[in-house]
């Protein structure tokens, strides 16, 4: 299939421009102010799938944002690949830290992207990666190279917990029947060393509220005599890790899968430069759980992190006040076998139990999902590896990622199909952060690699 290379070369400018148009629509699912833009993005994705040659393309309404569904069946006896992606994006703030506006894409060169990268919210997560699949399909359809059947399911609520997708999958098992699920919404080690994500962490996300006095108080008149909810919250949060950075919630580690020494040794073989890692983040040292190295801490180990904390006076100058309430948003990343609902419960019980007299504590669960691990001896993995080997010149390395795509575990449960995570982003692409970007090289290489997955998956399924 040499012609995919030349097809990409010939059409790259158009591919990039089309992606740029998609990135201009601010499809922020978390913020109702962008509701119309999210819906407009679904329409744009629908149009792109039609243009690429899908037959049945529909906007499927859900209790939340719509799901774009499409299919192209060439022969019911051939395997079916189900492509999943998301067209929603994270909120862009803090706005002032962007070098260019988040929804006005620009191409700039960086050290890791000498061919240039597109800077925009959603460039890598996930519009850029999702769109590679649309263009790969365009190539396969136009050149009569589509070797099997394909279905697309592109959702608009991934960044807020995929509630409607769960609803949709449960109701459409027949429609979504497939032999493998293919997702590009993760990363790879580097542009020289492809990797395939074999694990995702689960997630439990909660918000806590600590209430002291029934109103804000003068910090001189009342200070020292009543519990300050911000002081208390800080203390409670600090107590959630011990001196070895183990999480102190009773039962938290009960189901954590301990990897064997051999598995850990295998993991350690993946190229990783700790000095470079520290330099890229301007850190004088890394930090984390005793007994584990960085690449273990961020993949095979569970974590607990405050994502936001607020309360009291944060405006200009000084105001002497004891706030009535303090808040924090806390995420726990989980590893396989930890059940997110159980962990949410353990957290709630523990957090309530450590609240001192003088405050009231409320824990509000947000969303969550199970982790995922997949074996490397499946046809899907082997096909993906063959595809990467061909386009990158070296085999892919299996890597467990620290991120979460909760819907993947649900796919396996409901659709009884394995997911192959062919990610093309880099960890340094700043997803969820200001100046998110996606390498042009990565985008085009992805389009080149995907049709090979279809080809080898079909061949190996025979």
- Interface residue with Mn ion among 71, 126, 429, 436 (CB under 5 A) is 126
Residue 84 or 340: the one with the smaller Cβ distance to Mn ion is 84
- Are 133 and 450 in contact by the 8 Å Cβ rule? The answer is yes
Distance CA 149, CA 163 (A): 27
Residue 66 or 187: the one with the smaller Cβ distance to ligand BES is 187
Binding string, residues 172-211; x marks residues near ligand BES by CB under 6 A? -------------xxx------------x--x--------
Residue 203 binds which entry of Mn ion, ligand BES, none, CB below 5-8 Å type-dependent: ligand BES
Contacts of 10 (CB under 8 A, 6+ apart): none
Nearest one of 74, 48, 51 to 128, comparing CA atoms: 48
- Interface residue with Mn ion among 37, 88, 125, 429 (CB under 5 A) is 125
Phi, psi of 37 (to 5 degrees): -65, -35
Distance CA 207, CA 455 (A): 46
**Which token pair is 410?**
């649900």
Q: Residue 123: helix, strand or coil by DSSP?
A: coil
- Interface residue with ligand BES among 18, 37, 71, 126 (CB under 6 A) is 126
Phi, psi of 408 (to 5 degrees): -65, -40
Report, in Å, the least distance between residue 122 CB and Mn ion: 9
By CB under 6 A, which span of 44-52, 104-112, 283-291, 404-412 interacts with ligand BES? Answer: 404-412
Q: Does 439 bind ligand BES (CB under 6 A)?
A: no
Report, in Å, the least distance between residue 164 CB and ligand BES: 13
Residue 187 binds which entry of ligand BES, Mn ion, none, CB below 5-8 Å type-dependent: ligand BES
Number of amino acids touching Mn ion (CB under 5 A): 3
Q: Does 88 bind Mn ion (CB under 5 A)?
A: no
Contacts of 338 (CB under 8 A, 6+ apart): 202, 255, 256, 302, 371
Residue 155 or 185: the one with the smaller Cβ distance to Mn ion is 185
Report, in Å, the least distance between residue 369 CB and ligand BES: 6
Q: What is the CA radius of gyration of the chain?
A: 23
Q: Does 420 bind ligand BES (CB under 6 A)?
A: no
Which contacts of 337-341 are long-range, i.e. CB under 8 A and separated by 24 or more positions? 337/255, 337/256, 337/257, 337/371, 338/202, 338/255, 338/256, 338/302, 338/371, 339/255, 339/370, 340/202, 340/203, 340/204, 340/368, 340/369, 340/370, 340/406, 341/204, 341/368
Q: Is the peptide bond before 94 cis (omega within 30 degrees of 0)?
A: yes
- Interface residue with ligand BES among 26, 79, 161, 302 (CB under 6 A) is 161
- Interface residue with ligand BES among 164, 204, 295, 401 (CB under 6 A) is 401
In sequence order, which ranges of 268-316 are alpha helices (DSSP H)?
274-280, 294-297
Distance CA 417, CA 394 (A): 27
Residue 132 or 140: the one with the smaller Cβ distance to Mn ion is 132
Following DSSP, what letter does each residue of 317-368 receive, concatenated? S---EE-SEEEEEEEEEE-TT--HHHHHHHHHHHHHHTPPTT-EEEEEEEEE
By CB under 6 A, which span of 35-43, 114-122, 377-385, 399-407 interacts with ligand BES? Answer: 399-407
Q: Does 436 bind ligand BES (CB under 6 A)?
A: no
Residues numbered 169-228 forming contacts with Mn ion, rule: CB under 5 A: 185
Q: Does 429 bind Mn ion (CB under 5 A)?
A: no
Report, in Å, the least distance between residue 292 CB and ligand BES: 19
Residue 401 binds which entry of ligand BES, Mn ion, none, CB below 5-8 Å type-dependent: ligand BES
Q: Does 155 bind Mn ion (CB under 5 A)?
A: no
- Which residues make up the interface to ligand BES (CB under 6 A)? 125-126, 158-159, 161, 185-187, 200, 203, 401, 403-406
- Which residues make up the interface to Mn ion (CB under 5 A)? 125-126, 185
């Amino acid at each position: 299939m040499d012609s995919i290379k030349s097809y990409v070369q010939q059409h790259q400018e158009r591919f990039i421009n089309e992606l740029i148009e998609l990135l201009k629509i601010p499809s922020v699912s978390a913020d109702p102010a962008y509701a119309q833009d999210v819906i407009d993005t679904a329409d744009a994705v629908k149009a792109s799938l039609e243009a690429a040659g899908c037959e049945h393309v529909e906007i499927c309404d859900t209790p939340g944002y719509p799901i774009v569904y499409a299919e192209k069946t060439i022969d019911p006896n051939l395997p079916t690949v189900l492509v999943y992606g998301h067209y929603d994006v994270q909120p862009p703030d803090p706005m002032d830290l962007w070098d260019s506006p988040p929804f006005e894409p620009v191409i700039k060169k960086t050290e890791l992207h000498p061919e240039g990268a597109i800077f925009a919210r959603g460039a890598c997560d996930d519009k850029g990666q999702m769109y590679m699949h649309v263009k790969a399909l365009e190539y396969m359809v136009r050149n009569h190279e589509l070797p099997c059947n394909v279905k697309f399911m592109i959702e608009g609520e991934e960044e807020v917990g995929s509630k409607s997708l769960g609803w949709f999958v449960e109701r459409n098992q027949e429609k979504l029947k497939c032999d493998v699920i293919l997702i590009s919404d993760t990363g790879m080690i580097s542009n020289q060393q492809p990797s395939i994500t074999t694990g995702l962490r689960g997630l439990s996300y909660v918000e806590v509220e600590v209430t002291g006095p029934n109103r804000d108080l003068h910090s001189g008149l009342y200070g020292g005599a009543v519990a300050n909810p911000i002081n208390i919250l800080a203390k409670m949060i600090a107590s959630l890790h011990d001196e070895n950075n183990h999480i102190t919630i009773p039962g938290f580690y009960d189901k954590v899968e301990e990897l064997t020494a051999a598995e850990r040794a295998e993991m350690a073989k993946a190229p990783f430069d700790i000095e470079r890692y520290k330099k890229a983040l301007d850190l004088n040292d890394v930090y984390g759980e005793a007994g584990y190295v960085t690449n273990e801490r961020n993949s095979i180990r569970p974590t607990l992190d405050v994502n936001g904390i607020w309360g009291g006076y944060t405006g200009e100058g000084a105001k002497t006040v004891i706030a009535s309430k303090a808040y924090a948003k806390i995420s726990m990343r989980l590893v396989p076998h930890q059940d997110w609902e159980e962990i949410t419960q353990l957290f709630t019980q523990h957090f309530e139990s450590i609240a001192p007299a003088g405050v009231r504590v409320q824990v509000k669960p947000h969303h969550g999902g199970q982790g995922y691990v997949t074996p490397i001896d499946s046809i899907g993995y082997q096909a993906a590896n063959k595809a990467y080997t061909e386009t990158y010149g070296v085999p892919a390395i299996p890597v467990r990622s620290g991120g979460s795509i909760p819907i993947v575990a649900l796919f396996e449960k409901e659709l009884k199909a394995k997911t192959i995570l062919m990610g093309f982003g880099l960890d340094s692409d700043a997803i969820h952060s200001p100046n998110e970007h996606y390498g042009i090289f990565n985008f085009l290489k992805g389009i080149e690699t995907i049709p090979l997955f279809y080809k080898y998956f079909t061949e190996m399924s025979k």
